[in-house]
């Protein structure tokens, strides 16, 4: 079913790349599209922008299919933090309001809310919970619904959490979380950087108010790209905090200073977007998750993980295993030796992994082969570290 050819994924010629939770290799046809657009920019200057609106429209249309929503709810952003900052800074907080998040969140989903403390907003943090029976040993692991239920109050306006925790790979049950928030009229804001392209993310079906994600992890897109979903109800609440010519419906009529902003998610594309990168990301979305189906991609990523789980020496590497509903594309290992040293030793053998939070992270994607996984197992089990 999956095309795992080296022509499409040239990095396979040099490395077994198993850290798609980091900066992933750019999909070859995405690269070709980016190069094509850059050449047009080089050779045509302003004429290159004749297709500007169409490129952004195409990207939103592809992203809308991925999210199962209307393209009116999608905007291009440069990274996860940009989307969350526009949301956080534009939200109609009042002194005493509360945002509920997790104590070990990724910075892009922590600092935008922490800044709101200057407006009298309380940032309440869910404690770390080792749901693995003590395996994590104090490392950043997971959060629990019981703590969420205990900490939420009638002052809680937003629950802001990552779909997948970047250290342990713990995936939130977004459907359960969305139902919980909807019942209490709380806006659920999700950082999907570690899931979009590998796990399903369906905000309308799951009562999610906003989703922000980068494009260079599981989507295999260019660095400097991202997607931002917002529900119409949420957008009605938000003030404008980033403004520019593209905010307004009058478009290129630049001397018309009428205040008439878009009411769709285009309002967040406040100024010139890097359309070479946008065109590239659109190719990546159409040819990867939309071609194969994100549920199928998840199944293949977990199948490859299972091969690793069955082969690694468990006297050296203890996997952080979660129930199926909480599994993600990240398989984190507690290592007998220093995980950073293991990652360096694997890199020397042309196997790319990563270490965060004192875990070794293995994150195979659908295009990785069983041969690459077996070579990784054999290499790890032979290390004398």
Closest CA to 148 of 191, 108, 180: 180
Q: Which domain holds residue 338?
A: 10-29+293-382
Residues 173 and 56 in one domain: yes
Q: Give me the pLDDT at residue 124, please.
A: 98
Residue 233 makes CB contacts below 8 A (sequence gap 6+) with 209
State residue 225's pLDDT score. 98
Kindly give the parts of the chain with pLDDT less than 70: none
Claim to verify: residue 369 and residue 239 sit in the same structural domain = no
Q: Are residues 297 and 283 located together in one domain of the fold? A: no
Are 253 and 161 within 8 A, CB to CB?
no
Alpha-carbon distance of 132 to 27, in angstroms, equals: 35
Q: What does the alpha-carbon distance between residue 168 and residue 319 come to, in Å, rounded to a whole number? A: 10
Long-range contact set of residues 146-149: C-beta below 8 Å, sequence gap at least 24: 148/100, 148/177, 148/180, 149/180
pLDDT at 365: 98
Q: Domain containing 370 — which CATH number?
A: 3.90.1150.10
Distance CA 363, CA 381 (A): 18
Query: Would you say residue 54 lies in a domain?
Result: yes
| Nearest residue to 165 via CA among 132, 116, 133, 205 | 132
- Choose the final residue of a domain: 240, 258, 290: 290
Residue 135: the pLDDT is 87
Q: Are residues 260 and 324 in the same domain?
A: no
Q: Which of 290, 322, 355 is the last residue of a domain?
A: 290
Same domain, 286 and 297: no
Query: Has residue 359 been placed in a domain?
Result: yes
Question: Has residue 66 been placed in a domain?
Answer: yes
In angstroms, the CA 100 to CA 157 distance is: 8
40-97 confidence digits (pLDDT tens)? 999 999 998 899 999 999 999 999 999 999 999 999 999 999 999 999 999 999 999 9
How many other β-carbons are positioned within 10 Å of the β-carbon of residue 347? 14
5 within a domain of the structure (yes/no): no
Query: Does 349 lie in the same domain as 223?
Result: no
Does residue 3 sit within a domain?
A: no
**Do the domain assignments include residue 35?**
no
Say if residue 337 is in the same domain as residue 363: yes
- pLDDT given at position 1: 87
Confirm if 345 and 156 have CB atoms less than 8 A apart.
no
Co-location of 318 and 344 in the same domain: yes
Confirm whether 4 is domain-assigned.
Answer: no
Count CB-CB contacts under 10 A for residue 151. Answer: 15
- Residues 336, 261 share a domain: no
Domain boundary among 244, 267, 290: 290
Query: Domain tally for the chain?
Result: 2
Do 145 and 23 belong to one domain? no
Task: Looking at the structure, tell me whether residues 160 and 277 fall in a common domain.
Answer: yes
Could you tell me if residue 2 is inside a domain? no
267 and 236 both lie in a single domain: yes
Residue 46: give its domain's CATH number.
3.40.640.10
């Amino acid at each position: 079913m999956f095309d795992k050819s080296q022509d499409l994924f040239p990095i396979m010629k040099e490395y077994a790349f198993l850290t798609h939770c980091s900066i992933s290799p750019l999909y070859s046809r995405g690269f070709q599209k980016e190069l094509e657009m850059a050449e047009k920019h080089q050779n045509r200057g302003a004429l290159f922008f004749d297709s500007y609106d169409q490129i952004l429209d195409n990207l939103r249309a592809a992203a809308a299919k991925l999210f199962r929503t209307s393209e009116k709810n999608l905007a291009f952003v440069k990274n996860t933090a940009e989307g969350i900052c526009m949301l956080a800074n534009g939200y109609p907080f009042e002194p005493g309001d509360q945002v509920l998040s997790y104590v070990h969140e990724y910075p892009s989903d922590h600092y935008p809310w922490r800044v709101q403390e200057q407006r009298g907003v309380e940032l309440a943090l869910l404690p770390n919970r080792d749901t693995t029976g003590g395996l994590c040993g104090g490392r950043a692991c997971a959060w629990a619904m019981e703590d969420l239920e205990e900490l939420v109050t009638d002052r809680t306006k937003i629950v802001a959490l990552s779909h997948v925790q970047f250290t342990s790979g713990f995936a939130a049950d977004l459907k359960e979380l969305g139902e919980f928030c909807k019942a209490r009229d709380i806006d659920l804001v999700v950082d999907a950087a570690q899931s979009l392209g590998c796990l399903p993310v369906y905000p309308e079906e799951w009562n999610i108010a906003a989703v922000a994600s980068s494009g260079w992890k599981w989507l295999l897109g260019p660095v400097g790209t991202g997607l931002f979903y917002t529900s119409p109800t949420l957008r009605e609440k938000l003030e404008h905090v980033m403004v520019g010519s593209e905010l307004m419906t009058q478009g290129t009529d630049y001397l018309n200073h009428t205040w008439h902003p878009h009411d769709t998610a285009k309002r967040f594309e406040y100024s010139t977007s890097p359309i070479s990168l946008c065109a590239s990301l659109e190719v990546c979305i159409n040819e990867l998750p939309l071609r194969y189906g994100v549920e199928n991609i998840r199944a293949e990523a977990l199948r490859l993980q299972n091969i690793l789980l069955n082969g690694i020496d468990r006297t050296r590497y203890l996997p952080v295993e979660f129930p199926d509903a909480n599994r993600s594309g990240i398989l984190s290992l507690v290592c007998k030796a220093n995980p950073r040293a293991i990652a360096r030793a694997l890199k020397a053998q042309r196997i790319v992994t990563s270490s965060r939070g004192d875990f070794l992270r293995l994150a195979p994607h659908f295009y990785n082969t069983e041969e690459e996984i077996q070579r990784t197992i054999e290499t790890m089990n032979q290390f004398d570290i």
